Amino acid sequence: MSELFSELPWHDAVILGIEIGRRRPGETDEVVVMVMWPDERRSRVRFVECYGLEAKMNFGVVAAETVRSAIELDDTDALRSLREKWVHLRVDLSRIKCFTIEMNSTASSVSVYALRWVCEFEN
């Protein structure tokens, strides 16, 4: 698999679930997306050092939640606003990115604002 988020085989991958982890708020904030890739391998894409999450989820469609696209952005209005908010607390978010996944089946989208991500494959 690629080391670049947008180069993972997202198109037609299936989103199996999304978890928000706040076990140690402010220290270990993470979002985990469970994915079945087009080759049927399963993994957890874990976003760590998260500072925000936006989800527009539509339900009621009887179909697998397949991915239309996934992108990584490093300069958006939302990122600039987030950086400005945290700079007052002396937190440097110059490396933060926005990772957005858009779905086919329900036209849903999830945007995670995090410093990094890792893809962990199941056995």
58 within 8 A of 107, measured Cβ to Cβ: yes
State the pLDDT at residue 50: 95
User: Within 13 Å and on the Cβ side, how many CA atoms surround 42?
Assistant: 7
- Model pTM score: 0.92
pLDDT tens-digit readout, 14-63: 999 999 988 887 778 999 999 999 999 999 999 999 999 999 988 888 88
